[in-house]
Structure 1
Amino acid sequence: MMGDLHAAIVDLDGTMVDTLGDFDAALNATLKDLGRPAVARADIEHMIGKGSAHLIRSALLHGGLDVQAAERVQPEAWERYQSHYLTFNGQHSEVYPGVIEGLTALRARGLTLACLTNKPRDFARTLLQAKGLAGFFTHVFGGDSFERTKPDPLPLLKTCEALGTLPARTLMVGDSQNDGMAARAAGCPVVLVTYGYNHGDPIAQAPHDRLIGSLAELA
């Protein structure tokens, strides 16, 4: 599989960086502002992966609001969350072991790399810079870069266009069913890591061509 590739698209949260601590700090600061109950770290882990708006909505529903009440609160919650996340972005997160080695190996094979995440693009760029990963990537796209987000295939197809590569020659590296489903629908080969979030579901049940325990296994 690796010998036929021209580029790779790499997810961020749960794949390259363990950002659960950042989400915990920003989300619970937001909920405190709103007078809503805190959400446990283990529950937040299951809410990650579908973008910040989904995370906030899930936390509001988890705290006892019905759908209509959550929708009314969402705009204020979004503004407060963005402010808090700007403060905490990168402060409570760590690069997973093997990530630098894996990205270095992909670049050494001549692959062009893009980061594609459901996290807002500005947050993603700031985090990559803070963790010393920005230099690996020719492009960085977030959940607000395209009309739809993963698991829709559109972000992968648009990223392939930006890379100038065919989907069949572009590897997707992620940690969740969102990445696996998007890759399958786009026609990209996909490798998933076993240590990510994936909403609490077994990663082996997600569409994949290979499972790895570290990005260093891509070397």
Structure 2
Amino acid sequence: MFFDIQAVIIDLDGTMLDTAPDFLLAINRMRADLALAPISLDMIKIMVGKGSEHLIRQVLALDFDAEQSRAYFAMAIESYQRHYLDINGDQATLYPDVIAGLEAMSAQGLRLACVTNKPIAFAVPLMQKKGLSVYFEVIFGGDSFPRKKPDPLPLLEVCHLFNLAPEQIVAIGDSSNDAQAARAAGCPVLTVPYGYNHGEAIQNIQSDGIVETLLEAAQLFAAKKRTH
């Protein structure tokens, strides 16, 4: 495995950037608009990763029953998106060795794609703000296709775009969403231990290995090439 890797698909939230503080700020401003009390960062970390709609539904479910949540949903997501666009990236920070990892992968000639469940209107300016977008040939958001991770569709679209077989593209992420999407697409998958993963232990994910950083992943690919 990893001998003939030609490209890498990398997740964004929880993999390259710690964006939970951004989510916290936008969510609590939205909650204030609805006259609801603020919630904690730990609560947010368990909820993120499956797209904005899922996040807002989970947040509303803290205070409302299913019928009330449906009634408030449109107002809540409009408020959240407005606040998020206003603060996007202000509190987010790069995880260690992300840039070094991307530099090392690029130096190996690997093609890079970012596939995130974050809406594309949030993902692109955030990646530009943090100096990430220059490394990526393509960026796909949670609304780029009819289905998002854990569905394999976004990863298969990258395979098609790059004209590569799934086994030639490794996916790297922090959650079961990434692993399930990669498995279904036929791509090998590595996980990082520092992200969100919906409050579950990263060791419980069926991946092909855990790498401490993106730089460690790049070093793994380089070592495999040398020994092949």
TM-score computed with the length of structure 1 as normaliser: 0.97
Q: Tell me how far apart the structure 1 counterparts of residues 107 and 117 of structure 2 sit (CA, whole Å).
A: 27
Post-superposition offset of 1:39: 1.7
Aligned: 1:88 with 2:80: no
Q: Tell me how far apart the structure 1 counterparts of residues 18 and 67 of structure 2 sit (CA, whole Å).
A: 32
Residue type at the aligned position of 1:180: A
Alignment of 1:28-39 (within 5 A): 28-39=28-39
Post-superposition offset of 1:3: 2.9
Residue type at the aligned position of 2:30: T
Post-superposition offset of 1:35: 1.3
Post-superposition offset of 1:163: 2.2
Residue type at the aligned position of 2:186: G
Q: In the alignment, which residue of structure 1 is the partner of 2:13?
A: 13
Q: Tell me how far apart the structure 1 counterparts of residues 132 and 163 of structure 2 sit (CA, whole Å).
A: 22
Q: In the alignment, which residue of structure 1 is the partner of 2:223?
A: none
Residue type at the aligned position of 1:21: P
Post-superposition offset of 1:212: 1.1
The Cα offsets for residues 192-216 of structure 1, whole Å up to 9 and x where unpaired, read as 0000000110011112001011111
Q: In the alignment, which residue of structure 2 is the partner of 1:130?
A: 129
Residue type at the aligned position of 1:48: V
For structure 1, which runs of at least 5 residues remain unmatched after alignment? none
Q: Tell me how far apart the structure 2 counterparts of residues 17 and 97 of structure 1 sit (CA, whole Å).
A: 9
Residue type at the aligned position of 2:79: R
Q: In the alignment, which residue of structure 2 is the partner of 1:24?
A: 24
Q: Tell me how far apart the structure 1 counterparts of residues 37 and 146 of structure 2 sit (CA, whole Å).
A: 32
1:114–1:163 CA contact under 8 A, matched in 2: no
Q: In the alignment, which residue of structure 2 is the partner of 1:170?
A: 169
Aligned: 1:154 with 2:153: yes
Q: Tell me how far apart the structure 1 counterparts of residues 163 and 138 of structure 2 sit (CA, whole Å).
A: 11
For structure 2, which runs of at least 5 residues remain unmatched after alignment? 220-228
1:180–1:190 CA contact under 8 A, matched in 2: yes
**SS at 1:50 equivalent:** coil
1:8–1:173 CA contact under 8 A, matched in 2: yes
Q: Tell me how far apart the structure 1 counterparts of residues 20 and 65 of structure 2 sit (CA, whole Å).
A: 25
- List, as ranges, runs of 4+ consecutive aligned residues in structure 1 with deviation greater than 3 Å: none
Q: Tell me how far apart the structure 2 counterparts of residues 156 and 75 of structure 1 sit (CA, whole Å).
A: 29
Number of residue equivalences: 218
The Cα offsets for residues 112-164 of structure 1, whole Å up to 9 and x where unpaired, read as 10100000011110110000011000100000001111111111111221222
Residue type at the aligned position of 1:35: A
Q: In the alignment, which residue of structure 1 is the partner of 2:56?
A: 56
Q: In the alignment, which residue of structure 2 is the partner of 1:65?
A: 64
Pairwise CA RMSD: 0.9
- Percent identity between matched residues is 49
Residue type at the aligned position of 1:124: A
Q: In the alignment, which residue of structure 2 is the partner of 1:106?
A: 105
TM-score computed with the length of structure 2 as normaliser: 0.93
Aligned: 1:44 with 2:29: no
Q: Tell me how far apart the structure 1 counterparts of residues 107 and 209 of structure 2 sit (CA, whole Å).
A: 21
Higher mean C-alpha deviation, range 1-10 or range 167-176: 1-10
Q: In the alignment, which residue of structure 1 is the partner of 2:222?
A: none
**SS at 1:49 equivalent:** coil
Q: In the alignment, which residue of structure 2 is the partner of 1:194?
A: 193
